[in-house]
Amino acid sequence: QVQLQESGPGLVKPSKTLSLTCTVSGGSITTNFYYWTWIRQPPGKGLEWNGYIFYSGRTYRSPSLKSRTSISRDTSKNMVYLQMNSLKPEDAAVYYCAARNHPDYSLQARLYDNWGQGTRVTVSS
């Protein structure tokens, strides 16, 4: 059973860079057709898809965040990373790492097989 665990700083100052890690256990991040996806939920709002890194290494970032976001991985550590720069107060959210094992990407939460517990990020000076 794949398990995901997010980790990050918790509090980040505006204009600074956020770095989050998703540690994957119970399976390899290079296993065929896995999407390792970053999703966030701002307070009082719905889920927002930040982007993914596919098992092949291909990445996709949401157009609204693309200029500030990078998604990467370390296959030797079985970790996936999200980096977001120029942080704004509206970037405050619970950030989730989620996995979907399917050839097609999806923006439907119910189609994701595995979720981390989420890590809360506050943006404040």
| 54-113 pLDDT tens trace | 999 999 999 999 999 999 999 999 999 999 999 999 999 999 999 999 989 898 999 999
Sign for the CA dihedral angle at 88, 92, 98, 104 comes to negative
What's the whole-number mean pLDDT along residues 12-37?
A: 97
- What pLDDT, on the 0 to 100 scale, is given for residue 95? 98
Quote the pLDDT of residue 15.
97
